[in-house]
Structure 1
Amino acid sequence: MNNHLMRAFVLTAPGKYAVQEVPAPVAAPGEAVVDVERVGVCGTDMEFFTGAMAYLHQGHSSYPMRLGHEWCGRVVSVGDGVDPVWVGRRVMGDTMLGCGVCRRCRRGHQHVCEKRQELGIRGERPGALAEQLAVPVSSLHVLPDSVDAVLGALVEPGGNALRAARAAAARPGDRALVLGPGTIGLLVAMFLRAAGTEVHLMGRADNSPAFARELGFAHVWTEDSVPDLPFDAVVDASNAVRLPALALETVEPGGRVVYVGLAGGPSRIDTRTLALKDVTAVGILSASPGLDDTIRAYADGSVDPGPLVAAVVGLDEVGPVLAGERPVGAGPGPKIHVDPRTG
């Protein structure tokens, strides 16, 4: 019996939370227990905080729950059937945990498995906003020394962005427009830039355009200032209901639109426009197929997302962050990280 306790952030109802002492995890067969070093807070976590997340209403998730799916840490123990060589390794983990036996999983599409668990999101698999975390060892990806805790906790959102950038199929010299310069949008822009694409970003007239320029993106616009240029690809990384249609209207005939952002309500496009412009549209869910290549891009420095992190807080400060408060002294970046080892 495990008598060891640890601290964890527990969301008990919309807007209700507590940092609790809970039983520390014990590695089941096929699992590893990880000391969590860093966790990213994302928009999905905020939707659970407000109660708006669709999974709550579809029966896939319920309170109380432990959030946190963008994480990294170090393996401290393993269960039966796991090679002990894993102990001591620095790792991050795939959020999507498929059943492993269905047709989709057998075809390598575990991230869309009908019975999947999503760490800290779906299926009652506790998330990483805790001092320790238990995960299937099959979901782990090893981090090299050059990928520190900040970068390690950015691999998961980076995998989504890498897949979106690749789906844009932009070649060197092509021009791409990214809608929504939040964490995912800026990561998409970084991967596109690394591939030699001329990158344009469109955001609201707040501090986002200024921060994007600080990251070296010269072509940053608001909706009413986007130049009349041919965009070979448009990536919608926003949460605005109307922008998927704008992406389709804006892209060049024969180009590609990529949808990686999710709006709070149905977002609609006119498929007549899609067909008459001979446009390819791609939807992106999950970082799973892009995790290893994201780690390599961070390790070799071709993409450096570190400046996106505005602040690192402790578990006691997670609630206000989920409520939309910026930590005191936070920088201009869109991402807040949590170190569960601190207060």
Structure 2
Amino acid sequence: MSSTMRAFVLTGPREYSVQEVPAPEPVAGEVVVDVERAGVCGTDVEFFTGAMTYLHQGHSAYPMRLGHEWAGTVSAVGEGVDPAWLGRRVMGDTMLGDRACRRCRRGHQHTCENRQEVGIRGGRPGALAERIAVPAWSLHALPAAVDPVLGALVEPGGNALRAAQATGYADRVLVLGPGTIGLLTAMFLRAAGAEVHLMGVDDGRFARSLGFGNVWTRATLPDLPFDAVVDATGASDSPALAVDLVEPAGRVVYIGLSGEPSPLDTRLLVLKDVTAVGVLSGSPGLAETITAYASGAVDPRPLVAATVGLTEVGAVLAGEYRAEGPGPKIHVDPRS
């Protein structure tokens, strides 16, 4: 195994290069994974532009290696790790709690104050590289039915599954923002039998190609009672809009994040008796997402518009890459 590898390194806002860096070694309790696919996420774009809050809070700093949606094959294990992991295709949890604090002990390690986040927070290098090192306890084995494309969609799928669950699988659900997370949420809701509506800013042609017939813009949205509304946008006015649109005694779920504070009149929450839920991470939903993908209950493959190499990541993050496919997600194969 080579002692070096290629990795996409972000050195500052809009500054980057593909570098030859030291390959990770498996320390005690960790494994090294040969990365087969990694997804590019909106969070990665925020780091690229310099807007990501963690940069200003001191949780993250340049230079950094992005990539938290990934799948690959275990190629080395550290001391104390079961050698049965060798050769297994896996994906891994992004959120790495300290496993000692009260939150971790209560099963909420994804909210650990001292957590690392792969490719995001605490200096833990991400998967936009040929290899990645992660704790063995963070791994999820992928069955044969879950290929690398699906494997790299498990992390965003876990977030979407949790958003769908947070609606209580209501009878009629409106999803604001038909991007990757919005469409994945809609897929999980549909699989559970909900009547799903989507609202975006265009004609929704891609969403319709996925079998969603109820696709609207703000101007065309019908006057229907929505039992739950999921905000999967990055618009600062969407949280308030979600409360406006939801039925009294309904549920609003917030999984999208705006780059600026979102005004929300909590009096309306109270007067409509609305339950509001925020979703931070896919961690608690990863295993169930893998099961849904393996069974075919949810198939997110059409969301991937293209697969590129490391040298094209900068153009993707800058919004300069034009994919041939219509989907919202770009994958990276670091081996190409």
TM-score by length of 2: 0.99
Give yes or no for the alignment of 1:199 onto 2:201.
no
Report the counterpart of residue 107 of structure 1 in structure 2.
106
CA distance in 2, matches of 1:41, 1:141: 20
Report the counterpart of residue 333 of structure 2 in structure 1.
339
Report the counterpart of residue 34 of structure 1 in structure 2.
33
For residues 1-343 of structure 1, the aligned pairs below 5 Å read 4-171=3-170, 174-205=171-202, 209-327=204-322, 329-342=323-336
SS in 2 for 1:19: strand
- Counterpart of 2:134, as a letter, is V
CA shift at 1:15, angstroms?
A: 0.4
CA distance in 2, matches of 1:147, 1:3: 28
SS in 2 for 1:273: helix
CA distance in 1, matches of 2:52, 2:313: 18
Q: Does structure 2 retain, via aligned residues, the 8 Å contact 1:34–1:74?
A: yes
1:268-304 CA-partner distances (Å, limit 9, x unpaired)? 2111111111110000000000000000000000000
Judged with a 3 Å threshold, the aligned counterparts in structure 2 of structure 1 residues 152 and 3 are, in CA distance, closer, same or farther, namely: closer
SS in 2 for 1:34: strand
Q: Does structure 2 retain, via aligned residues, the 8 Å contact 1:55–1:122?
A: yes
User: Runs of 5+ in structure 1 lacking a partner?
Assistant: none
- Counterpart of 1:50, as a letter, is T
CA distance in 1, matches of 2:280, 2:304: 23
CA distance in 2, matches of 1:268, 1:157: 26
1:172-226 CA-partner distances (Å, limit 9, x unpaired)? xx110000000000000000000000000000126xx110000000000001111
CA distance in 2, matches of 1:281, 1:194: 23
CA distance in 2, matches of 1:325, 1:143: 33
CA shift at 1:326, angstroms?
A: 2.8
Judged with a 3 Å threshold, the aligned counterparts in structure 2 of structure 1 residues 160 and 73 are, in CA distance, closer, same or farther, namely: same
CA distance in 2, matches of 1:163, 1:230: 23
1:21-59 CA-partner distances (Å, limit 9, x unpaired)? 000000010000000000000000000000000000000
Percent of residue pairs identical:
73
CA distance in 1, matches of 2:110, 2:169: 25
Runs of at least 4 residues of structure 1 off by over 3 A?
none
CA distance in 1, matches of 2:268, 2:219: 22
CA shift at 1:253, angstroms?
A: 0.5
What do you get for the CA RMSD once the two structures are aligned?
A: 1.0
Q: Does structure 2 retain, via aligned residues, the 8 Å contact 1:10–1:18?
A: yes
SS in 2 for 1:74: strand
CA distance in 2, matches of 1:259, 1:215: 23
CA distance in 2, matches of 1:78, 1:131: 16
Equivalent pairs counted in the alignment come to 336
SS in 1 for 2:158: helix
CA distance in 2, matches of 1:223, 1:68: 33
CA distance in 2, matches of 1:223, 1:180: 11
CA distance in 1, matches of 2:146, 2:221: 35
CA distance in 2, matches of 1:32, 1:336: 26
SS in 1 for 2:291: helix
Judged with a 3 Å threshold, the aligned counterparts in structure 2 of structure 1 residues 86 and 98 are, in CA distance, closer, same or farther, namely: same
CA distance in 2, matches of 1:277, 1:3: 61
CA distance in 1, matches of 2:3, 2:10: 21
- Counterpart of 1:30, as a letter, is G
CA shift at 1:3, angstroms?
A: 6.9
Q: Does structure 2 retain, via aligned residues, the 8 Å contact 1:258–1:284?
A: yes
Q: Does structure 2 retain, via aligned residues, the 8 Å contact 1:31–1:82?
A: yes
- Counterpart of 1:9, as a letter, is F
Q: Does structure 2 retain, via aligned residues, the 8 Å contact 1:3–1:23?
A: no
- Counterpart of 1:190, as a letter, is M
Judged with a 3 Å threshold, the aligned counterparts in structure 2 of structure 1 residues 76 and 222 are, in CA distance, closer, same or farther, namely: same
